[in-house]
Structure formats: C-alpha cells, structure tokens
Amino acid sequence: MRKFLMTAASAVLALSVFSADVETADAQSAADQVITEGKKHLGSPYRYGGTSPSGFDCSGYLVYIFDRAIDQSLPRTAAAQASAGDSVSKSNLQPGDLVFFNTSGRGVSHSGMYIGGGDMIHSSSSRGVSIVSINDPYYWGSRYIGAQRVITEQEEVASETSPPEPKPLPAGQYHDVRESHFAYAEIKSLGESGIINGYSDYTYRPNQQIDRSQAAALIARTLDLKPDGNPGYDDVSSSHHNADVISAVESAGYFDSIVKGNDFKPSAKITRGEIAAVFYEAFNLEGFESEENFHDVAGHEYYDQIMAFAGTEISTGTRDGGYDPERVANRGHFAAFLDRALNVHN
C-alpha cells in the first residue's frame, strides 16, 4: 500500500499563492477560449446529426466547441439549448452567448454563438461552419428569436461597470461553479476543507488558464520546496515574480521532462500532457498503470506519465475516450487533479 499525504497548511499556502498568480495573469476569458476553438473549424461541412469536425449540425457544433474549449456541457438540440442558461436581450449580447432562430416556422430550430460586432459563428446547412451577421436583412435578421447566456464568467463581466455587492456563499460554493461543472465536486470539497478560497466576489473563475510559472508556484509551495539560488534558465531572470519557485522546481527536477533546451517558458500555458509529466515526478507516480485505451496518446512523448496519471484516477480522460494531452489546463482542471492527488493510493 502506497499513499501520498500532504498537510492542509501546505496546500492552503500553495493554492493561495496560485490564486494570486492567476488573478494577475493575462488569462484568456472563457468566451475567448470557446470562440478561438470555434474558429478552428471554419469551413467544416454541415452534417445532420453531426457532432465532430468531419461534419456538424448547428447544435452539435456548439456542444463540441464548448466541451473542447472549457469542458462545459450543453444540451444536444437547439431547442434544449434555448433554455440552458439565462435569457439576455439582443441589446445586451456578449461574445459567447448562444443565439437562436426560427427557420422552420415552428419555434427554435437553429442555434449559433455570438462573437461580437453583430456576428455569430454557426454551422449552417448551406455553408457549414461560417460567420454571418445576426442582423442579415436577407435571412437571419428576420428569424432571430432570442439568446441565452451559458458561460457563468460572462455574468461577472457584464456587471463590471457597476458591480452589485457580491452575495456571500458558504465555503466551497462559488457563483461561477454550477453543479453541472465537471469539477464541481472537487472544487466544493477543496473549498469546504479550506484549501481553496476563491476570490473576494465569491467566484472561483474555473476557466482561467494556468501557465508554467503558476504551476511551478503550486508545486513548490505544496511540496515545501526551497529555492536553490537564482533560476538557471535563460528566460527567467532573478527579478521574475516567480523566480524562487522556478528555482525550487528546477532543483527538484520536476519540470525537466517538459523543458526543452534552456528556456523554462514561464508564460507558456501548461497542457494536460505536461501536467501528467510534472505530477509523475512531483508525486512519485512511478509504478502506477492504467487499463484505459486512450485513442490520442499512442506514441506521445509523455505516454508513460499519462498512463500512470490515469492509473491513479487523477484524470479519467475525456468524454470521447481520449486524454487530450495538448489541451491547456485551467483552474477547474487543476482543482480536480489536486483533490484526487491528495487521495492517491495504490
């Protein structure tokens, strides 16, 4: 029997530092992440019932890009998506909102995502994934029937000019983490135990991405690593705000497998594959194995680490049977990984 144990005090310190680092980072918003993912598929063909880049229908396209970009589940049909969030007026649309149209004469029959400037990105039967104006006088303008805000982070953005007093919530609960969120249980557990505290407005901001510098801070504080002089990397000066923790993980060797050459790349977003490699070293996962047959990791440079990572059940993979090693991790991902790492055993 092998079990990893960590003091609550170390974990609190680690995540407190981590939260501060992320709050000051130039992180891409959840809406931006979904829009970026959506634009990757411009030109993909339309296919009735399609939910993959080989062919999307309108709602299947939205399901795919929200899942892929921010791990958010949407209902499968346009009609169901039309009641999935909070209704917003056309004049209050923000990027990332879902927009709906009556193209059949029988209510909601088409959905897309608003991307700003009066435009939406969608999968249409005539052009596949494309960008059009929601006010197009020849078609879409007259068929527009409503919009829904499904990204909870958008609610915070919408109120920035005159923010109301945030409603206090019990430990472990956050205004932007609903029960449908993939890491809800883990975030709630860590919050209830006092390991994470979130932000002063009672949000956790689970969709903010993590870079290597922030991951180093988390690992160093969690494992009580001490700096060993200045970092030896060409791109991390002694004045870097995370120089001490980068020096500490450098001495421990925990990031060696993901660092190429002599550049640490502190601002580079850290991927799921890289996190598996770092956790493998930091939490001594050698000897763990998984029976999962991920379709996207064969031959990957971190194959052994990913399979050990999955063998501990720190990660259970993605909904389509893969591991998605190149996907950038966010605060939601990390909370899930940390909560499981605290209880890993063989």
pLDDT in tens, 258-312: 999 999 999 999 999 999 999 999 999 999 999 889 999 999 999 999 999 999 9
Q: Pick the more confident residue, 162 or 114.
A: 114
The verdict on whether 58 is a catalytic residue reads: yes
Q: Give the pLDDT band (50/70/90) at residue 213.
A: very high
Confidence of residue 318 (pLDDT cuts 50, 70, 90): confident
> According to the 3-state scheme, what is the secondary structure of the chain?
CCECCCCHHHHHHHHHHHHHHHHHCCCCCHHHHHHHHHHCCCCCCECCCCEECCEECHHHHHHHHHHHHHCCCCCCCHHHHCCCCEEECHHHCCCCCEEEECCCCCCCCEEEEEEECCEEEEEECCCEEEEEECCCCCCHHHHEEEEEECCHHHHHHHCCCCCCCCCCCCCCCCCCCCCCCCCHHHHHHHHHCCCCCCCCCCCCCCCCECEHHHHHHHHHHHCCCCCCCCCCCCCCCCCCCCHHHHHHHHHHCCCCCCCCCCCCCCCCECEHHHHHHHHHHHCCCCCCCCCCCCCCCCCCCCHHHHHHHHHCCCCCCCCCCCCCCCCECEHHHHHHHHHHHCCCEC
Of the residues 41, 122, 181, 333, which is catalytic? 122
- The active-site residue out of 41, 110, 175, 181 is 110
* Among 58, 181, 240, 333, the one annotated catalytic: 58
Per-residue pLDDT tens digits for 323-333: 999 999 988 88
What pLDDT, on the 0 to 100 scale, is given for residue 220? 85
The arithmetic mean of pLDDT across residues 20-39, rounded, is 70
